[in-house]
């Protein structure tokens, strides 16, 4: 009896002391189980046990569908092409801005960096304005070649062209950071030993950048494989890819299982490619042995012809990057007639589009919807990942290691698969979410945004926490501070700049999102990405297009400000944060 | 005041320290000295409460503190990196421990300024971010932060290792002065024998997770109880070959067992051919200078005595070129280890 009451006291004390920790552990376990594990198991289950017993009927159905098979083939072709073209353009612009001494490089930088301030649907919208049926370039070409088909810019070529220039933002961020980590002494040593400028690039610079280029190639391959908006806008009927196909299949009740199988297939390719990447990642890395590092200096191209060619390439690329952005900005100040026909006169200019947009809350609704989703999802994912990363740092054991792996699940899965998983799991009452139906509610998109942002956020939060010396926390403890007080007063202030950076980057990625939103959005709360995408259709009126132009310009202004604060003021990624 | 009783600390199968049995008296400056990886910091962290012993007990004023969390021990630590909170000002850093204790604002203000004055930190410096201070000033902030809560014991983990040589000597002196002023029991960890000898009342020499010897600096230096301590502290000549080659000269030594013989380099005398003043315990050898290292006010010479090359130090300069000299060794100053 006495022993029993003693044990009760111990238990009571344990519960009292660890109540907060137990609550956090329960919440994390529930979240992971409900949204990371069960939806994926459900996809696999529905694929093979959809009829109640084991069957591969849905796979056979997929194989029989010529359209589906062609979409898989097209996606793979696109991914392979982009892996080459994006690297060529990406490496070229990084070298032109950072390695070679090119005249007007500051202006060029503004052009090459435009993909950082608008991407996805907004970017496609811009290219459509330039290369579409009424686009500026199309009109110009038709004057030279009167027989040119106005819809010339479609199919594989158009998708690959747009995506080549859209996907260089990762190169701009990560390859730039990598090239600046090169010790310039190694370049000078090669020069001193008689190597020519271009052989130094081939033999010294590029091999040093190899691990980053390898990682970027994988990212590009996956972007090509899971591409949504570019194939939808420019692919036309003859070039359909996997994700738009999943979208089409998911909309019809009879082909829903095909969408599930295709999403599973996409997920399997992604996992295979990423596993290959992780296995080979360590092999390609080299360890810098520089004792005293020297900053990279820009090189004048000594060969005159080569110098002229490089300058021409630089300015042609500049034109390709900037024309769509300038077109968006200019057309946002014109009337609907100019926007519909693509012809501008002096009378076309007006501020009416902006006045209309800002005069009613209704006009700004897609913006407010995406802004609210972005702000809330970014905040929640940052809080969640901060807690998880802190636990991983504080308790380094098997349990936190498992947590680490589980939180990486969305990194291995395309957002389409995540979306399909959520839809099919929560389209009926489910005890995991207290017997509620989530599909079709405003919550499912919020959960989707949080899930897709977990891997990036957790990586950055972890590196921020692990960058703090253990002694800092021990010093606080030694001075009498408890865990939560130490976290709030000592640790959090140190990592706040990084946390603010992650928050802002998540927000600007969510704002124009289309890939996930199109599957999960609530019809009454259409997010910005979906609204912009709809405006790329030829049937849309000039007034609607005008509104989208204003949205896109505001989006670019917000992104520019955030990028300036995050990368300029907060110094985010200055030490080369992880990719993705 | 502090008692370690049969303390052992292990990580999984690896035993980091074992058989720790020692006492530290109140007001004492006690140093853990030893090479990297010998277990001195592990022992210190067990005292502070960051490591838990796998066996044995630690007592503070007779009270068992082995399982007490660090915040309840009243032992404050100055870290090797200082571990100052980078987002706080100097004032906020020093005040941190008091705020945690919920001391009143006016009292915090008064106590922080008092300690800052003693540590020679100006009012202006109190408002600065810690990153704006020099290494020496940062060290003072770290010590002030630890002392402001009036702990029973102050522990310092290699606090001078990040500083340049000149500043190290300056701060070493300041540290000694501070310890005497506050009269606080201090445990100091270092791998630098010079620091240990100049600062400490007593030293514990660690090797391979065990204490080899505890004693005053003089005892440790002059009567090193083990071969390791003798080698680790100061400059030493191993003269086993010389002794064994000249048994007739070393009449006071026990040459029967397989012993190793050592002598501190400053106990060698150099004489100029006049051997009439040799005492009974002294023996002389002729040798040839083969090398020299100039240290400013003294020079270290390598002398070939035939069976052994030894080092001697002299304040006067000798022409190195094949110079012959006579070296005298006092047998009473020879250390011998089985």
Q: Assign 3-class secondary structure to B58-105.
A: EEECCEECCCCCHHHCCEEEECCCCCCCCCCEHHHHHHHHHHHCCCCH
Report CB contact under 8 Å: A493, B97.
no
**Which residue has better confidence, A51 or B335?**
B335
Report CB contact under 8 Å: A471, B83.
yes
Is B68 an interface residue toward A (CB < 8 Å)?
Answer: no
Provide the pLDDT for residue A1.
46
Write the DSSP assignment of B150-161 as a string of letters.
Answer: --SEEEEESTTT
Helix (H/G/I), strand (E/B), else coil: A153? coil
When pLDDT is averaged across residues A188-202 and rounded to a whole number, the result is 86
What does the alpha-carbon distance between residue B114 and residue B248 come to, in Å, rounded to a whole number?
67
Pairing between β-strand B153-157 and β-strand B75-78 as defined by DSSP bridges: parallel
Measured between beta carbons, which residues in chain B are less than 8 angstroms from residue A485?
Answer: 100
Task: Pick the residue of B48, B76, B83, B111 with the most A CBs within 10 A to test the interface with A by mutation.
Answer: B83
Closest chain A residue to B94, measured at CA? A479
When pLDDT is averaged across residues A347-356 and rounded to a whole number, the result is 90
**Which residue has better confidence, B166 or B297?**
B297
Report CB contact under 8 Å: A482, B71.
yes
B59 min Cα distance to partner chain A (Å): 18
Task: Pick the residue of A464, A480, A487, A491 with the most B CBs within 10 A to test the interface with B by mutation.
Answer: A480
User: pLDDT digits over A370-399, tens only?
Assistant: 999 999 999 999 999 999 998 888 888 889
Measured between beta carbons, which residues in chain A are less than 8 angstroms from residue B85?
Answer: 472, 475-476, 490, 493-494
Task: Pick the residue of B78, B99, B100 with the most A CBs within 10 A to test the interface with A by mutation.
Answer: B100
Tell which phi-psi region holds residue A375, choosing left (phi > 0), alpha (psi between -120 and 50) or beta: alpha
Is B86 an interface residue toward A (CB < 8 Å)?
Answer: yes
Residue A469: which of B50, B71, B81 has the nearest Cβ?
Answer: B81
Closest chain B residue to A496, measured at CA? B87
Measured between beta carbons, which residues in chain B are less than 8 angstroms from residue A500?
Answer: none
Measured between beta carbons, which residues in chain A are less than 8 angstroms from residue B96?
Answer: 476, 479, 481, 489
Report CB contact under 8 Å: A476, B80.
no
B116 min Cα distance to partner chain A (Å): 17
Measured between beta carbons, which residues in chain A are less than 8 angstroms from residue B71?
Answer: 477-482
B75 min Cα distance to partner chain A (Å): 8
What does the alpha-carbon distance between residue A363 and residue A346 come to, in Å, rounded to a whole number?
27
Closest chain A residue to B157, measured at CA? A471
- Does A576 score more than 80 pLDDT? no
Measured between beta carbons, which residues in chain B are less than 8 angstroms from residue A491?
Answer: none
H helices within chain B, ranges in order? 40-48, 90-100, 105-118, 123-126, 135-147, 165-182, 193-199, 217-222, 227-232, 240-245
Closest chain B residue to A480, measured at CA? B71
**Which residue has better confidence, B202 or B51?**
B202
Provide the pLDDT for residue A3.
55
- Does A273 score more than 50 pLDDT? yes
A287 band by pLDDT with thresholds 50, 70 and 90: low
A485 min Cα distance to partner chain B (Å): 8
- Does B157 score more than 50 pLDDT? yes
CB pairs under 8 A between A and B: 60
B270 band by pLDDT with thresholds 50, 70 and 90: confident
Provide the pLDDT for residue A288.
59
User: pLDDT digits over A447-457, tens only?
Assistant: 999 999 999 99
What does the alpha-carbon distance between residue B79 and residue B157 come to, in Å, rounded to a whole number?
5
Hey, what are A3's tokens? 């022993």
| b/e per residue A83-100 (b: at least 16 CB within 10 A) | bebbbebbbbbbbbbbbb
Provide the pLDDT for residue A220.
93
- Does A574 score more than 60 pLDDT? no
Provide the pLDDT for residue A542.
75
Residue with tokens 């570019």: A230
User: pLDDT digits over A82-117, tens only?
Assistant: 999 999 999 999 999 999 999 999 999 999 999 888
- Does A527 score more than 60 pLDDT? yes
A465 min Cα distance to partner chain B (Å): 14
Report CB contact under 8 Å: A478, B76.
yes
Provide the pLDDT for residue B22.
96
When pLDDT is averaged across residues A45-69 and rounded to a whole number, the result is 83
Pairing between β-strand B55-60 and β-strand B63-64 as defined by DSSP bridges: antiparallel
Provide the pLDDT for residue B169.
85
Task: Pick the residue of A467, A473, A479, A570 with the most B CBs within 10 A to test the interface with B by mutation.
Answer: A479
**Which residue has better confidence, B275 or B122?**
B122
When pLDDT is averaged across residues A519-531 and rounded to a whole number, the result is 93
Angle at CA of residue A526, ends A118 and A362, nearest 5°: 95
A292 band by pLDDT with thresholds 50, 70 and 90: low
B197 min Cα distance to partner chain A (Å): 27
Closest chain B residue to A483, measured at CA? B71
pLDDT above 90 covers a percentage of chain B that reads 58
**B207 alpha-carbon distance from chain centroid:** 13
When pLDDT is averaged across residues A44-55 and rounded to a whole number, the result is 80
What does the alpha-carbon distance between residue A483 and residue A275 come to, in Å, rounded to a whole number?
37
- Does B294 score more than 80 pLDDT? yes
Closest chain B residue to A474, measured at CA? B50
Provide the pLDDT for residue A579.
34
Provide the pLDDT for residue A577.
39
Measured between beta carbons, which residues in chain B are less than 8 angstroms from residue A479?
Answer: 71, 76, 96-97, 100, 145-146, 149
When pLDDT is averaged across residues B192-203 and rounded to a whole number, the result is 94
Tell which phi-psi region holds residue A439, choosing left (phi > 0), alpha (psi between -120 and 50) or beta: beta
pLDDT above 70 covers a percentage of chain B that reads 99
Task: Pick the residue of B72, B97, B111, B187 with the most A CBs within 10 A to test the interface with A by mutation.
Answer: B97
Measured between beta carbons, which residues in chain A are less than 8 angstroms from residue B84?
Answer: 475
When pLDDT is averaged across residues B28-47 and rounded to a whole number, the result is 94
Measured between beta carbons, which residues in chain A are less than 8 angstroms from residue B76?
Answer: 478-479
Hey, what are A439's tokens? 């599909």
Is B79 an interface residue toward A (CB < 8 Å)?
Answer: yes
Closest chain A residue to B95, measured at CA? A479
Q: Determine the longest span between alpha carbons in chain A, in angstroms.
A: 100
Write the DSSP assignment of A215-271 as a string of letters.
Answer: HHHHHHHHHHHT--HHHHHH-TTT---HHHHHHHHHHSSTTHHHHHHHHHHHHHHHH
- What does the DSSP 8-state code read for residue A204? I
When pLDDT is averaged across residues B145-149 and rounded to a whole number, the result is 91
**Residues of B numbered 89-118 whose beta carbons fall under 8 angstroms of chain A's beta carbons: which are they?**
96-97, 100-101
**Which residue has better confidence, B23 or A8?**
B23
Is B76 an interface residue toward A (CB < 8 Å)?
Answer: yes
**Which residue has better confidence, B190 or A548?**
B190
Report CB contact under 8 Å: A480, B149.
yes
- Does A236 score more than 90 pLDDT? no
Under 8 Å between Cβ of A307 and A301: yes
Residue A485: which of B48, B88, B100 has the nearest Cβ?
Answer: B100
Angle at CA of residue A410, ends A405 and A413, nearest 5°: 115
Helix (H/G/I), strand (E/B), else coil: A439? coil
Report CB contact under 8 Å: B79, A474.
yes
Q: Assign 3-class secondary structure to A68-120.
A: HHHHHHHHHHHHHHHHHHHHHHHHHHHHHHHCECCCCHHHHHHHHCHHHHCCH
Provide the pLDDT for residue A217.
92
Measured between beta carbons, which residues in chain B are less than 8 angstroms from residue A471?
Answer: 79-81, 83
């Amino acid at each position: 009896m006495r022993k029993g009451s003693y044990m009760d006291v111990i238990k009571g004390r344990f519960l009292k002391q660890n109540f907060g920790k137990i609550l956090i552990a329960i919440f994390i376990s529930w979240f992971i189980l409900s949204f990371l594990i069960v939806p994926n198991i459900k996809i696999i289950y529905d694929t093979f046990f959809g009829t109640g017993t084991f069957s591969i009927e849905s796979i056979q159905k997929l194989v029989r569908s010529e359209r589906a098979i062609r979409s898989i083939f097209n996606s793979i072709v696109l991914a392979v092409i982009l892996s080459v073209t994006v690297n060529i353009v990406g490496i070229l612009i990084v070298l032109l801005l950072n390695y070679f001494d090119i005249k007007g490089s500051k202006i060029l930088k503004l052009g090459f960096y435009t993909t950082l301030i608008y991407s996805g649907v907004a970017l496609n919208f811009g290219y459509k304005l330039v290369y579409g049926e009424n686009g500026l370039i199309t009109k110009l070409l038709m004057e030279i070649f009167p027989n040119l088909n106005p819809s010339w810019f479609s199919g594989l070529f158009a998708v690959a062209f747009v995506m080549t220039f859209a996907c260089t933002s990762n190169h701009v961020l990560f390859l730039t950071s990598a090239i600046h980590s090169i010790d310039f002494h190694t370049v000078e040593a090669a020069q001193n030993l008689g190597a020519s400028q271009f052989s130094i690039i081939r033999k010294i610079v590029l091999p040093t950048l190899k691990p980053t280029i390898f990682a970027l190639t994988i990212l590009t391959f996956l972007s090509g494989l899971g591409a949504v908006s570019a194939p939808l806008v420019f692919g036309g009927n003859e070039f359909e890819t996997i994700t738009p196909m999943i979208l089409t299949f998911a909309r019809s009740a009879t082909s829903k299982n095909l969408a599930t199988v295709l999403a599973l297939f996409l997920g399997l390719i992604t996992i295979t490619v990423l596993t290959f990447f992780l296995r080979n990642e360590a092999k390609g890395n080299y360890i810098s042995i520089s004792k005293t590092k020297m900053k990279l200096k820009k090189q004048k191209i000594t060969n005159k012809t080569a110098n002229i060619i490089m300058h021409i390439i630089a300015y042609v690329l500049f034109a390709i990057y900037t024309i769509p952005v300038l077109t968006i900005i200019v057309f946002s100040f014109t009337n609907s007639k100019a926007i519909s026909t693509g012809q501008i006169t002096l009378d076309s200019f007006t501020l009416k589009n902006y006045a209309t947009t800002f005069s009613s809350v209704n006009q700004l609704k897609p913006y407010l919807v995406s802004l609210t989703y972005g702000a809330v999802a970014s905040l929640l994912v940052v809080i969640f990942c901060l807690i998880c990363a802190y636990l991983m740092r504080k308790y380094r054991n098997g349990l936190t290691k498992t947590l680490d792996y589980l939180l990486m699940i969305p990194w291995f899965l395309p957002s389409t698969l995540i979306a399909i998983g959520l839809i099919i799991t929560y389209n009926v009452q489910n005890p995991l979410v207290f017997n509620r139906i989530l599909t079709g509610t405003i919550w499912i998109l919020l959960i989707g945004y949080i899930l897709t942002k977990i891997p990036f956020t957790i990586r950055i939060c972890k590196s921020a926490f692990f960058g703090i010396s253990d002694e800092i926390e021990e010093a606080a403890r030694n001075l009498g501070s408890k865990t939560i007080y130490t976290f709030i007063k000592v640790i959090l202030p140190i990592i706040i700049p990084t946390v603010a950076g992650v928050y802002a980057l998540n927000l600007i990625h969510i704002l124009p999102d289309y890939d996930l939103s199109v599957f999960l959005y609530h019809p009454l709360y259409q997010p910005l990405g979906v609204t912009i995408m709809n405006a790329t259709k030829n049937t849309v009126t000039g007034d609607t297009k005008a509104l989208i132009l204003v949205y896109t310009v505001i989006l670019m202004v917000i992104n520019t400000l955030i990028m300036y604060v995050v990368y300029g003021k907060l110094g985010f990624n200055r030490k080369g944060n992880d990719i993705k | 005041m502090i008692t370690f009783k049969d303390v052992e600390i292990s990580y999984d199968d690896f035993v980091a320290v074992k058989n720790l049995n020692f006492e530290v008296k109140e007001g004492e400056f006690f140093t853990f000295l030893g090479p990297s990886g010998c277990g001195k910091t592990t022992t210190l962290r067990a005292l502070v409460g960051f490591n838990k012993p796998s066996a044995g007990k630690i007592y503070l004023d007779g009270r068992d503190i082995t399982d007490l969390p660090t915040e309840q021990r009243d032992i404050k630590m100055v870290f090797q990196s200082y571990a100052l909170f980078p987002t706080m000002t100097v004032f906020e850093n020093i005040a941190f421990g008091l705020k945690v204790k919920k001391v009143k604002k006016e009292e915090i203000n008064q106590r922080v300024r008092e300690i800052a004055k003693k540590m020679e930190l100006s009012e202006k410096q109190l408002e600065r971010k810690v990153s704006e201070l020099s290494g020496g000033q940062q060290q003072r902030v770290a010590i002030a932060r630890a002392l402001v809560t009036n702990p029973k014991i102050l522990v310092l983990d290699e606090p001078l290792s990040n500083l340049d040589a000149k500043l190290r000597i300056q701060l070493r002196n300041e540290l000694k002065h501070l310890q005497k002023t506050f009269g606080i029991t201090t445990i100091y960890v270092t791998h630098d024998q010079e620091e240990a000898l100049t600062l400490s009342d007593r030293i514990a020499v660690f090797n391979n997770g065990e204490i080899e010897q505890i004693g005053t600096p003089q005892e440790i230096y002059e009567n090193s109880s083990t071969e390791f301590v003798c080698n680790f502290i100061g400059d030493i000549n191993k003269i086993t070959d010389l002794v064994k080659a000249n048994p007739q000269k070393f009449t006071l030594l026990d040459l029967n067992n397989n012993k190793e013989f050592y002598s501190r380099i400053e106990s060698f005398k150099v004489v100029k051919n006049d051997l009439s003043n040799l005492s009974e315990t002294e023996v002389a050898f002729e040798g040839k200078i083969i090398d020299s290292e100039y240290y400013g006010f003294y020079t270290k010479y390598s002398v070939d005595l035939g069976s052994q090359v030894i080092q001697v130090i002299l304040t006067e300069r000798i022409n190195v070129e094949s110079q012959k000299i006579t070296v005298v060794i006092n047998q009473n100053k020879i250390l011998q280890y089985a």
